[in-house]
Amino acid sequence: MDLGEGLRKAIAKLQGSTIIDLKTIREFNKELQRALISSDVELSLVSTFTKKIEDAAVREKIPEGVSPKDYITNMVYEELVVLMGKSYEPQIKPKRILMLGMYGSGKTTTTGKLAKFYQDRGLSVGLICCDVARPAAYEQLETLAKQVNASFFGIKGEKDARKILKEGVKALKDRKVIICDSSGRSAFDEILVNEIKAISEELKPDEKFLVINADTGQVAGKQAKEFNDAVKITGVIVTKMDGSGRGGGALSAVSAANVNITFIGTGEKMNSLELYNSEKFVGRLLGIPDIESLIKNVNEAIKEANIKPDEINSEELNFDTFYSQLKTMSKMGPVKNMLGMMGMADVPKNVVDQGEEKLSKYKVIIGSMTKEERKNDKLLRDHSRITRIAAGSGTQEKDVRMLISEFNKMKKFYEMFKNDRNVKKNLSKFMSGQK
């Protein structure tokens, strides 16, 4: 069970409570403690957190018209925001960035994501491979640079990171943002400290980001402190937040070490890097919809998928327009993340997994249709067409029929509301990524 699920279950038990007395709040706090400890939040932080909740709940009077559940939810929200640390807002201007981290932290992948982040905001980016310890680091960073349209520099086989950096800065002098990917190690030792100090002195970075895997839990705080003592990091990027039950522990530990969290990684794709916003993050943990982020993701997905607005806002729903919508959804990242933004984080995992699989399968099936079939779904009443599409997509005929059946249900729903001006206006705005 992850932190969000545990918190939401604890709060759900307050449903129907008419008063909040000491007994009720202490029972609630036990559930909170279980959720926080199972997510690897440090014990002293858990104790301090739940004591604040108890003191405030017993001391303060619930405002008239507010339910006990809503009142406690708001209290938990406010205290969690403090526990998880400040939000981050970067300056979008030319800069030099040094990436730091241990083996397995996701540092090189995050370097590529960060390059895309600044490229998307109009700044040209150059990546320098100064990871001289890991054999595949050069090829990986070079591939990521091509993927996000950033410039790349490295000297294959060279073991002097400072020499690579010096030449790289010269070669990429016309780039607005230069990001240096340094070597990682399996342990924080003197060799690593000396190397990152030398690189930092040469690069003179504006930002020094430590990349930490969310699975490290409480250890994240120790890593943050060690790197901060060595080179004074400006922030931490926590990766793999989408699949770790220990993410809450990692974030709270970093915050307790008095280091800022700057970004969180929420998936493998290059756009799966979010600016850290403690209010939004805690809101999602508690099941509060984050429509602003959802709309922003839709906007970015449409842009990345190269979809024209009229493909989304078409007067007619056919397999062509449906395919455009599927492409948009696939660019938005895992279905789990989207549901979280909609305040629907507790959809069963098997349902989410089936949804992911179904979307992928449907894209392949539609890709095997002819242009005429995509425009006119009535042609698919012909059994021979279904047989051909199934063979061409590597699926079974029952899968094609299931898609057609679900599409027809959607089409009926679409036709029903098409002439309702208010519904149509709001749906069009949402699918276009407008507020």
How far apart CA 91 and CA 38 sit, in angstroms, is 36
Is the pLDDT reported for residue 304 higher than 50?
yes
Pick the more confident residue, 175 or 284: 175
Pick the more confident residue, 263 or 330: 263
Query: What does 101-153 look like in DSSP terms, one character per residue?
Result: E-TTS-HHHHHHHHHHHHHTTT--EEEEEE--SSTTHHHHHHHHHHHTT-EEE
How far apart CA 394 and CA 405 sit, in angstroms, is 19
Is the pLDDT reported for residue 303 higher than 70?
no
Is the pLDDT reported for residue 249 higher than 90?
no
pLDDT tens by residue, 355-383 = 667 778 888 898 899 989 988 888 998 99
* pLDDT computed for residue 131 by the predictor: 93
Structure-token pair, residue 87 = 């939000």
Is the pLDDT reported for residue 390 higher than 60?
yes
Is beta strand 207-213 parallel, antiparallel or unpaired with respect to 95-101? parallel
* pLDDT computed for residue 139 by the predictor: 95
Please identify which residue in the block is written with the tokens 């990682």: 184
CATH topology for 3-84?
Four Helix Bundle (Hemerythrin (Met), subunit A) (1.20.120)
Pick the CATH number of 291-431 from 3.30.1330.10, 1.10.260.30, 3.30.70.100, 3.90.1010.10: 1.10.260.30
In which band, very low, low, confident or very high, does the pLDDT at 414 lie, cut at 50, 70 and 90?
A: low
Q: 95-277, which class in CATH?
A: alpha beta
Which DSSP symbol is given to 214? G
Contacts of 266 (CB under 8 A, 6+ apart): 241, 242, 272, 273, 274, 333, 334, 337
Domain ranges in the chain with CATH number 3.40.50.300: 95-277
Contacts of 302 (CB under 8 A, 6+ apart): 309, 312, 328, 331, 432, 433
Helix (H) or strand (E) holding 213: strand 207-213
Model pTM score: 0.67
pLDDT tens by residue, 28-73 = 899 889 988 888 888 888 899 899 888 888 777 777 777 778 888 8
> Torsion angle of alpha carbons 275, 281, 284, 286, nearest 10°?
180
In which band, very low, low, confident or very high, does the pLDDT at 430 lie, cut at 50, 70 and 90?
A: very low
* pLDDT computed for residue 115 by the predictor: 97
| Top-ranked range on mean pLDDT: pick from 6-10, 48-52, 147-151, 280-284 | 147-151
Domain ranges in the chain with CATH number 1.10.260.30: 291-431
pLDDT tens by residue, 201-238 = 999 999 999 999 988 888 888 888 999 999 999 999 99
pLDDT tens by residue, 143-190 = 999 999 999 999 998 999 999 999 999 999 999 999 999 998 888 888
Domain ranges in the chain with CATH number 1.20.120.140: 3-84
* pLDDT computed for residue 171 by the predictor: 96
> How many Cα atoms within 13 Å fall on the side-chain side of residue 394?
5
How far apart CA 271 and CA 193 sit, in angstroms, is 31
* pLDDT computed for residue 318 by the predictor: 80
* pLDDT computed for residue 334 by the predictor: 59
Query: Mean pLDDT lowest for which of 18-22, 231-235, 266-270, 387-391?
Result: 18-22
